[in-house]
Amino acid sequence: MMIDETHDPARKSWVESANGHADFPIQNLPLGVFSRDGDSPRGGMAIGDMILDLSALALSGLLDGEALAAASAANGATLNPMLALGTGPRRALRKRVSALLSEGAAEKAQVESLLVPMREAEMHLPAHVGDYTDFYVGIHHATNIGSLFRPDNPLLPNYKHVPIGYHGRASTIRATGADVIRPQGQTKAPTADAPSFGPVAKLDYELELGVWMATGNDLGSPIPIAEALDHVAGITLLNDWSARDIQAWEYQPLGPFLAKNFLSTVSPWIVTMEALAPFRRAQPARPEGDPKPLPYLWDETDQSKGALSLELDVFLSSAAMREKGMEPLRLSHGAASNMYWTIAQMVTHHASNGCQMQTGDLLGSGTISGPKNGSQGSLMEITRNGKEPVELPTGETRTFLEDGDELSLAGHFTADGAVSIGFGECRGTVSPARA
């Protein structure tokens, strides 16, 4: 993940909307899958408010070598074949596309015909997800949640030794905009004598990052931490919708189940590891007295560059707010550097027992919260399990999400001497439970 000419802050695009774009300037070029009415889904790259059709680009005669191989592998409904090619072809395609889209490119007229306006496109999941694992690397979230239920012992003793995770449900992962159908489930109020079944009352969101696997490993063969990021294609935003009342009743002794598996939403563009090169930073030093990870989880290069210079935001808009034309309320703002474990440590630990990772696998970071009020990544933390409601501009209050609420996540990478890039939207609107 080297900084090269594709990251040059002086580079501009002849696609005018890309210059100054909050998410998709020419320095980003994220990967996704899109379709237009009547067309089959296929791979694309975001540039400003346009999408470069990679399938058409592969047939244009403008590519050769590894760049051509990468674009040709993106001609289907998922990016799995392209991601499986690994880092080299992906980097070659990025370099060639960056040159083709740069100001002064002689191929402008030919490339211009390969662009699709985003407003005319429907976005899909970028890859087929074979498996989904959700980690728990946000230490402030873990501490906040633990303090609500275990005030004397909020952080369990294994947390600082091992990246904790659980196996989630791949079949319910959807791209931004998918309806958030209020789940039903079995819950038990603290004062009730017996459980009951019905629509959940404590519907929550979780602010996370999603890590997309590019290449996997053979069964029984671990992934060394120094090589872990070579297996990663890039990252997205991830909202792991959660039913806290189901969770409270079911989670012992085996952890999350129906409280988490009804829906997880991802932003549809994969911001590639190549695009992230200028935004890598040192992992924050562990507090004095914290244990050093075991050798298989420790790499000096990862510690020096394993964190990301990324700011994250969460916004809430009620149906009444939208009817009145009000701007969404920002619920929280924080930094991805609040992750206690790095992406490389997550990948390496996952495969440390010989578990086979595969192209398209998705890893969730777990909820990312900061140490202060205003930086929490869930309503469970913000409202202290409903005890401190949030007041909306309409005078409405929220302890958890209600039908009609629209929740959106945003993230932007910023660093001195670099052009800021982002993910695009990760959004969902709550609809009533189905009979």
Domain CATH code at residue 246: 3.90.850.10
CA nearest to 234, candidates 413, 414, 48: 413
The answer on 109 and 138 residing in a single domain is no
The answer on 83 and 142 residing in a single domain is no
The answer on 138 and 118 residing in a single domain is no
Sign, CA torsion 320/322/323/327:
positive
44 CB burial (10 A radius; 0-12, 13-18, 19+): buried
Of 100, 124, 148, the residue that ends a domain is 124
Q: What is the mean pLDDT of each run of 10 residues along the chain (435 residues)?
A: 94 98 98 95 98 98 98 98 98 98 98 98 97 97 90 90 96 97 96 96 98 98 98 98 96 92 98 98 95 97 97 98 98 97 98 98 98 96 97 98 98 98 98 95
CA distance 88 to 101: 20
CA distance 318 to 329: 9
Of 91, 124, 157, the residue that ends a domain is 124
What is the tally of structural domains in the chain?
Answer: 2
The answer on 64 and 168 residing in a single domain is no
- CATH number of the domain to which 82 belongs: 2.30.30.230
Question: Which entry of 7, 21, 124, 141 is annotated as an active-site residue?
Answer: 141
Of 89, 124, 159, the residue that ends a domain is 124
232-239 and 264-266 as β-strands: parallel, antiparallel, unpaired?
antiparallel
Phi, psi of 34 (to 5 degrees): -135, 165
- C-alpha separations of 357 from 69, 352, 362, 363 in Å: 23, 11, 10, 10
The answer on 292 and 253 residing in a single domain is yes
The answer on 146 and 96 residing in a single domain is no
pLDDT of residue 225: 98
Phi, psi of 398 (to 5 degrees): -135, 130
pLDDT of residue 149: 82
The answer on 408 and 260 residing in a single domain is yes
CA distance 209 to 135: 10
The answer on 137 and 120 residing in a single domain is no
The answer on 148 and 230 residing in a single domain is yes
Asked if 421 contacts 28 with a C-beta cutoff of 8 angstroms, the reply is: yes
The answer on 60 and 136 residing in a single domain is no
pLDDT of residue 232: 98
Three-state secondary structure string covering the chain? CCCCHHHCCCCCECCHHHCCCCCCCCCCCCEEEEECCCCCCEEEEEECCEEEEHHHHHCCCCCCHHHHHHHHCCCCCCCHHHHCCCHHHHHHHHHHHHHHHECCCCCHHHHHCCEEEHHHCEEECCCCCCCEEEECCEHHHHHHHHHHHCCCCCCCCCCCCCCCEEECCHHHEEECCCCEECCEEEECCCCCCCCEEEECCCEECCEEEEEEECCCCCCCCCCCHHHHHHHEEEEEEEECCEEHHHHHHHCCCCCCCCCCCCCEEECCCEEECCCCHHHEECCCCCCCCCCCCCHHHCCHHHHHHCEECEEEEEEEECHHHHHCCCCCEEEEEEEHHHECCCHHHHHHHHHCCCCCCCCCCEEECCCCCCCCCCCCCCHHHHCCCCCCCEECCCCCEECCCCCCCEEEEEEEECCCCCCCEECCCEEEEEECCCC
Range of the domain at 372: 132-431
Phi, psi of 222 (to 5 degrees): -65, 165
To the query of whether residue 141 is one of the catalytic residues in this protein, the response is yes
The answer on 318 and 210 residing in a single domain is yes
The answer on 226 and 106 residing in a single domain is no
CA nearest to 97, candidates 123, 70, 121: 70
